[in-house]
Amino acid sequence: MSGAGRVAVIGAGLAGLAAARRLAASGRDVVVFDKARGAGGRTSTRRSDGGAFDHGAQYFTCRSDRFLEQLDAWLDRGVAARWDAKLVELRGGQVGAVHGEAERYVGTPRMSMLARDLAAGLELRTSARAVRADRDASGWVLSFEDATSEAGFDSLIVATPAPQAVPLLSGAPELAASAAGVEMQACHAAMVTFETRPPLDFDGAFVADSPVAW
């Protein structure tokens, strides 16, 4: 995609930010909106009195040549690093080895640095929860939770989880129906601190046959 044109991207997770960067590099005027106070999506970091928690994605792997280019750039700049953790599998109360182990990486010093790096140089509007997207003579018009709106976008990218995308896709009924048909399974993350480090000889564990998966 090349040439002029104003593009709105709703969702400042890695997918939305990657799309925004590609479009900006091709000459598009891109504005990224996100309901949160900062970019990140599932790579957001939660800060607390007990420390910082990467409560969405704790690590990532690389499974494509195209992503490898991005990973190499992150590694060169110190935005990401290989995570040489000792991981195990817990099954029936027994500790076992993890087989077929892939190389794992983390954002440094926290996962949110990946999104912050992708967002550099982009026009990012945070704390902006879009609730509706419509078209008029000027193009796409975005309406926000605080009763404000912004018009004049030639193109729109919705990079949010499917349930959040449905009200934003009224201008594309087939896409809205497709998003409405997606059933998502909840995943809960517990963020816990201890007065002293637990006496464990591993850094992370995949748990089998349990409501706790990791």
Helices and strands (DSSP H and E) totals, the chain: 5, 14
How far is Cα 106 from Cα 45, in angstroms, rounded to an integer?
A: 12
Give which of 49, 45, 43 is closest to 15, Cα–Cα. 43
CB 41 within 8 A of CB 14: yes
pLDDT tens for each residue of 86-125: 999 999 989 998 877 789 999 999 999 999 999 999 999 9
Q: Give the three-class secondary structure for 32.
A: strand
Q: What is the pTM of this model?
A: 0.90
pLDDT tens for each residue of 155-211: 999 999 999 999 999 888 999 999 999 999 888 999 999 999 899 999 999 999 999
Longest dimension (CA), the chain: 64
CB 10 within 8 A of CB 156: yes
How far is Cα 6 from Cα 124, in angstroms, rounded to an integer?
A: 14
Q: Which residues, 6+ apart, have CB-to-CB distance to 1 below 8 Å?
A: 22, 23, 26, 28
Model pLDDT, residue 2:
40
> Is residue 6 exposed (0-12), middle (13-18) or buried (19+ Cβ within 10 Å)?
middle
Give which of 111, 144, 105, 102 is closest to 14, Cα–Cα. 111
1 pLDDT above the threshold of 50: no
